Amino acid sequence: MSQSVHLLSNDQLLEVFNLTHTATAVHVGETAIIQAANDAMLRIWGKDRSIIGKSLEDALPELKGQPFIEMFRKVWLEGLVISGKDTAADLIIDGKLQTFYFDFEYRAIKNNEGKTICILHTAIDVTERVLRQEAIEREQEKAEALEREQALNEELAATVEELAATNEELVSTNEELQETQETLHVLNNELELRVIERFNQLSESEKRFKTMAEGTDIFIAVGDETGNAVYFNKPWMDLTGKSMKDLLDFNWTNLIHPDDRDRYENIYRLALAAKKPFAGEFRILSKKGDYRWLLASGPPRFHADGSFAGYISSCVDITERKLIELERLNLSKLIEASSEFIGLVELDMSIQYLNPAAIKKLGWESIANRTILDCVYPEDQSIAKQLLPGILQNQNFREEIRFWNEKTGKPFWIEWNGFAIRNEKNDEVIAMATVSPDITERKLYQEELQDINMEMAAANEELATTNEELAQTHEDLIQYVNKLADSEEKLRQAIETGKMGTWSINPKTLDITMSGFVKDLLGLPLDQPATMESIMKAINPEYHDILNKALKNALTRHLSSDNEYTVNNLITGEEKWVRATGKVFVDQHGNATEYSGLFIDITEQKLDELRKNDFIGMVSHELKTPLTAINGFVQVLQRKAKKDEDNYSIVALDKTHNQIRKMTTMINGFLNVSRLESSKLLIEKSDFSLGTLLKETIEEMYISQSSHQIILNPTCEVTINADRDKIGNVISNLISNGLKYSDNGTRIEVTCKLHDTEVEVEIKDEGIGIKPDDIDKLFERYYRVKGNHTISGFGIGLYLSAEIIERHNGKIWAESEEGIGSTFHFTLPLR
């Protein structure tokens, strides 16, 4: 037998909430509006339920100047939990301002998206406990004072007896002194009691202040009457990473951003001179090395005699708010500068905002008491009245319609785009926005075309006698169209046969159109429109940044694109290599109308390249073994020839050794190209001296080459983080090129230059130089300068050098003048 479940109603839940002994309240918003409060909390506040719905400051005005309202705001904005124990608060109870002590907690309650929806406020009145503890401490201090007083009285009595025994003649004087002593004793007791009372008050006040200051996340500091800081609480030390001693000894204002320092110090100095409150915003350097925005305020404090004692300042972190303000400011500037018609409309069709371009087009002075229908040309208002109600049902629209200038009375055409603005919480439509370009010129052009068509129609009537000729022409035109359609079909078949497809993107809407071949390749549904999100899912994430950059350049700068990347079919998971080319088409005004191109399957081509690279790598690796053996035999023969003093054999074997070295260099080059194109060329970075590497490389070149002068100019002693062996290969290759293309006896100069963020190496020769047509292609794979094929080489040295420098985030380039020489440069980052 089932038992029905009885759920409590809202009123019943509220009754249960009111029965809890812990004082509890629920607040919402930056101003801590009281959403609910149980009876225990209302008793603490000394209020009735009329305060429900009010902000905390309106309900309890005595809290103004105390830190609690700012704490609520911080909890709401940052989603924090702030708590405290034995915290003092001044509240008006029965019309009298009294001091109470509480253990409290302000806790941000968040939804599933992590957004704060309310603040749970709990408090326990511990006033009796705190006052009892303070009373115990005061009683202890009184007991100690009484003991001191008793000891003093005993000392005085002993002194009196001693004086009476030694000098009876001074009895009368002693009696007067006794009376005076009694009077002084009374005055001393009164003074001591006043001192104790004042000490207790100051001690209690200081203890309450430090407890509050160290237990809060607000940045609190104390300054004396001269303006110098004398205290910083723990949040200051957590933010700056400095101890209180450092903050006091070191002028803490040096941590303020240079752009804000003078302004904030001027605000503080003016307030200090007038002994008035101050407030200001500034950025301060944190221990992480970034700047945080703080909002500072400080009321003056005074001694009991009314003299100025300095400031107690508090700061809150407003960095997130400032960033949001900057984003809004930038967005507002873009909207203000836009030439399009941009507006925001309430649900009653009253205009809330129009950008300057829109107001100028309408010839208005202001938007006060205006509706969106006032913008529409009277003859087109019936169309507008049919479109606007749909916004309430979340139906966006796009319509070509006429607005008008009230001053001139002239209409102008716009492409009216209206879309609903929805509440993030309940998705209800709360307003309408419009972003509409002016299409007057296009409409006028269409009207001109329409007039021309009408004139042509009239001309056709006048040429009725030539209908037979026109009919024949029409038949010829049909045949031509059929041939054209046949050609288009053949072109489509040719594209698909060549494993190619077409794609197109609308620059305004970003709608994507793709041929069936492309959708099938990516694994997208053939009967549904393609989306950017689904396309990016199929593309290897390594290429997303490249493609997003290409799309941005196409839409903003109208640049063509040509990219190769891998895709994985969303259905089968099969990986393919593709090549996508794109071109932007513009209208007569330079506006982009279409971004389209070809999508080509190059998987087989890529696989062929990989097989070729594997083959080159394998052959190069296999060739190194016999070459090593041959080199060993040659070295043995060289030693034997030198021993036998066989000059002919020595010369012949030296030449053989040089040829083996050249061949080893070429094979290593092919092997590195193979590793590079198969992504197996590893960069192993370490710290080393670039100057030492240059010296070692030049010394090695002298061992094998003695026909040129290699000069190392005074170099920069700098340590860089790079692959030492591969950077050495680059330097060796560039010097070898200089030797190869320069006459014997000429100079090769190597120079190192140190810049702010990078180091530059320059290698200059006095060789034959390079033609301007060749200089831009020097670093392409297998490229050889025309007219110099008598010099050995396969065109891979500079290609490898460029790839190595590029993988170190550096740059490499060449400068040359025919018949004079060439200079090769490369840079490497210092950090």
Question: Tens digits of per-residue pLDDT, 29-71?
Answer: 989 999 888 888 888 889 898 999 999 989 999 888 899 889 9
Question: Has residue 169 been placed in a domain?
Answer: yes
pLDDT value, residue 2: 41
Distance CA 322, CA 400 (A): 40
Instruction: Please provide the average confidence, as pLDDT, over all residues in the chain.
Output: 80
| Across 511-535, average pLDDT | 88
Query: Where among 185, 210, 235 does a domain terminate?
Result: 210
- For residue 94, the model assigns a pLDDT of 84
Q: pLDDT, tens digit, for every residue of 401-425? A: 999 999 999 999 989 988 888 887 7
Query: In this structure, what token pair is assigned to residue 266?
Result: 């001027």
User: What does the pLDDT average to over 17-28?
Assistant: 82
The model's pTM is 0.30
pLDDT > 80? residue 106: yes
pLDDT at 466 over 80: no
Compute the average pLDDT of residues 228-254.
86
Amino acid at 466: T
Give me 349's structure tokens: 């069709």
On whether both 237 and 282 belong to a single domain, the answer is yes
> Are 230 and 156 members of one domain?
no
Percentages (nearest 5) of helix, strand, coil residues in the chain: 50, 25, 25
What per-residue confidence (pLDDT) applies to 810? 93
Query: Residue 620: pLDDT above 50?
Result: no
User: CA 324 to CA 303: how far, in whole Å?
Assistant: 42
Q: Does some domain include residue 671? A: no
Q: What pLDDT, on a 0 to 100 scale, did the predictor assign at position 621?
A: 47
- Alpha-carbon distances, residue 587 vs 266, 298, 506, 509, 592 (angstroms): 56, 61, 13, 16, 7
Which of 547, 582, 601 represents a domain boundary (last residue)?
Answer: 601
In a domain, 607, yes or no: no
CATH number at residue 82: 3.30.450.20
- In terms of Cβ atoms closer than 10 Å to its own Cβ (0-12, 13-18, 19+), residue 134 is middle
Residue 439 and residue 562 in one domain:
no
Asked whether residue 256 falls in the same domain as residue 362, the answer is: no
Task: Band the pLDDT of 28: cuts 50, 70, 90.
Answer: very high
CATH at residue 757 = 3.30.565.10
DSSP structural state of residue 766: -
State mean pLDDT over 322-333. 70
Q: Specify the pLDDT at position 332.
A: 65
Q: What is the domain extent for residue 140?
A: 131-210
Distance of alpha carbon 342 from alpha carbon 417, whole angstroms:
10
| Structural domains counted in the chain | 6
pLDDT tens by residue, 760-798: 999 999 988 888 888 878 887 656 565 554 444 445 778
H-type alpha helices, 229-339: 234-240, 244-249, 258-274, 319-337
- Segment 269-296 shows an average pLDDT of 90
719 and 759: one domain?
Answer: yes
100-104, 514-518, 685-689, 795-799 — which is least confidently predicted?
795-799
Q: Which of 571, 601, 631 is the last residue of a domain?
A: 601
165 and 121 in one domain? no
**C-alpha span between 88 and 427 (Å, rounded):** 44
Please indicate, yes or no, whether residues 797 and 695 belong to a single structural domain of this protein: yes
pLDDT, tens digit, for every residue of 377-388? Answer: 999 999 989 888
Residue 735: is its pLDDT beyond 80?
A: yes
Question: How far is Cα 17 from Cα 9, in angstroms, rounded to an integer?
Answer: 12
The answer as to whether 669 is a domain residue is: no
pLDDT category at 660 given cuts 50, 70, 90 is confident
Q: Report residue 40: phi and psi, to 5°.
A: -60, -40
Q: Any residues with CB less than 8 A from the CB of 650 and at least 6 apart, and which? A: 638, 641, 642
Angle at 17 between CA 67 and CA 47, to 5 degrees: 50
Using a pLDDT cut of 70, give the percent of the chain over it: 75
- 6-35 b/e (C-beta count within 10 Å ≥ 16 → b): eeeeeeeeeeeeeeeeebbbbbbeeebbbe
Q: Which residues pair with residue 124 across a beta bridge? A: 103
138 has a pLDDT exceeding 80: yes
Question: Is 789 domain-assigned?
Answer: yes
Per-residue pLDDT tens for 172-205? 655 665 676 666 666 656 655 654 555 455 455 5
Strand 291-298 relative to strand 308-317, pairing: antiparallel
Q: How confident is the model at residue 491 (pLDDT cuts 50, 70, 90)?
A: very low
pLDDT confidence tier of residue 757, bands split at 50, 70 and 90: very high
Q: What is the pLDDT of residue 494?
A: 45
Question: Is 232 found in the same domain as 202?
Answer: no
Query: Of 365, 375, 322, 321, which is closest to residue 344 (Cα–Cα)?
Result: 375
In a domain, residue 472? The reply is no
**738 within domain boundaries:** yes
